[in-house]
Chain A
Amino acid sequence: MKNLSKYRFSFLLLLFALALCFILNISLGSVTIPFKNIIGELFTGKTENESWHYIIWNYRIPKAFTAILTGGALSISGLLMQTLFRNPLAGPFVLGISSGASLGAALLLMGASVFSGLATFEAAHSISLAIGASLGSFLVLLAVLSVASRVKDTMALLIIGLMFGSITAAIVSVLSYFTTSEELQRYVYWSFGSLGDLSWSQLSLLTGIVFLGITLSIASIKSLNALLLGENYARSLGVRLKKSRYIIIIATALLAGSVTAFAGPIAFVGLAVPHLTRQLFNITDHKILLPAVLLYGAILMLLCDIVAQLPGSESVLPINAITSIIGAPVVIWLLTRKRKMLF
């Protein structure tokens, strides 16, 4: 047997990289704070400058944690979907989670002007946006699942997810067509994604949901490994297919859904990170892949956030654009490097 301790070094390396990126991430931003003050704040809590203290503890650290949770959760749900559908191009959003969230956000931000007469409320508030997005993902996922219980074939489920995505995209288009340019702009801003808007209480809620999703993922490790052989083989190994499929889908919904609700639709991380991880860890066992993907995703997200900050400048680039700019070339590189995308 391959000794699992062989991977201990790789994991230590990843943990070290994560710590490094975390510190780097909170050291950089639009306000320049000397590095030794960052270290001082982190390890002793000593304050030289009240506003630096405020920026670090109420803005940069929550944002870094959001990046870790977002990257880790999206990457794990990408891994789950790739194994469940045995399709290397599957990602966290194939079951309509992000399109549902977009629909929820679109209805909230643009619905008021389209359906005039409905009570308008402060829609741009991040909490109501998060609730709207969660409701949207939840409803679309529920629709996909209710159809899913009627189809036996997992591949059909993949296509059904894509179809629901098309429907919601169409509704969003119609809303965008009729809405005011101001509201359209607010929707477009939401779709850029943002890691920086979470308060500590929102962050703890996100942490709780993500941990629940990770727990369900860990509980699915054995059936995920069996699914590497295909559904019939998995069944012949004693896997209760229907039950496992639901647990995997619910885990994905919790992970990708909660992240999308709080940080907006963040593309490509979920698709690209599992492939990147397989380059470093040449193993198929989900016992190793799952924590590796989590760490890798967190690191990548912290790095993307550093790039998005444009250190030293006032402006911030949309995080969703940065992940795609980094993610898409990775997928292209993988496809040209290998004849086939193995998973």
Chain B
Amino acid sequence: MNTHSQHSILEVKDLSIGYGKTVVIDGVSFESQSGELTGIVGANGIGKSTLLRTLGNLQASLSGSISIAEKSINNINPIDFASKVSVVLTEPIASKNLTVQELIALGRQPYTNWIGTLTENDIRKISEALHMVELHDLRDSKCYELSDGQLQRVMVARALAQDTPLILLDEPTTHLDLYHKVQTLKLLNVITKKTKKAILFTSHEIEMVLQLCDKIILLKETGSTFGTPDQLIAAGEFDNLFPANTISFDANTRTFGIQK
């Protein structure tokens, strides 16, 4: 990666998130460059998904600023925003009767005309996305025929077809077995390097995040920290992530062990 081609895509300053008057977590600051894969980790209920939904403008922030390509997200209209940020959520899609290709084609909506006609360019982008996730053979399959792992890759392809500099994924590896977890995360890693997109995802797979991500946002009761895996390990951030009498972190092997 040459640093010259890198530029800041997402900048978050002193962000406070939550619902109404309930603050889930505050003081979140980080930034994401093009070509960077960032993992958001933390214990259950700490606010990982809330953070992701706030970044995706699916819920309002309480205070602080979120800028995409140096523009505050409050000043971007919905269509423009859709051409800058795409999402992969945990909620199941409403219609499983869509074919893989139809579903991915919906990712082109921000660019199509009033009735959604696909141009040559749209069709090319859809085909590229299908190739990127290696699902070209399944393009005419219905979504209800797919396995969880395949469906997750279709959703990634849909986000790719939306052709945004930033992709947000909420727990892309839940419900997947170890192999498909690794496959999905490696795919995200490859996408960031090949397409120079910035990708942020939430995950419980801290050990995999440590191996595959460029940056990590660690959410804890005491606040959030941000840095490269090496920086966070050196600062001992993972040592007290979970109660020490149950799980301990080994900085040398970068793994968690069960305390017996």
Contact = CB atoms under 8 A, between A and B. Distances in A.
Interface of A: 1-2, 86, 218-219, 221-222, 225-230, 232-233, 235-240, 278, 283-285, 287, 342-343
A278 B98 CA distance: 12
B110 A284 contact: no
- Chain B interface size, under 10 / 10 to 19 / 20 to 34 / 35 or more: 35 or more
Contact of B56 (A1, A86, A236, A283): A236
A229 B87 contact: no
A284 to B, nearest CB: 5
A238 B87 contact: no
A2 B106 contact: no
B106 A230 contact: no
A238 B79 contact: yes
B58 A232 contact: yes
Contacts of A236: 56-58, 82, 85-87
A237 B106 contact: yes
Contacts of B58: 232, 235-236
B103 interface: yes
A238 B109 contact: yes
B109 A226 contact: yes
A229 B95 contact: yes
A236 B98 CA distance: 18
Contacts of A2: 99, 101-102, 140
A240 B81 CA distance: 12
B228 interface: no
A230 B91 contact: yes
B116 interface: yes
Contacts of B92: 230
B123 A1 contact: yes
Contact of A237 (B89, B97, B107, B114): B107
Given A86-B94, A226-B109, A238-B82, 14 more contacts: A1-B105, A2-B140, A221-B115, A221-B116, A228-B93, A228-B95, A229-B95, A230-B94, A235-B57, A236-B85, A237-B107, A239-B109, A278-B97, A343-B97
A342 B112 contact: no
A229 B103 contact: yes
A238 B144 CA distance: 26
B118 interface: yes
A228 B98 contact: yes
B192 interface: no
A239 B102 contact: no
Contacts of B96: 342
B162 interface: yes
B106 A228 contact: yes
B236 to A, nearest CB: 37
A1 B109 contact: no
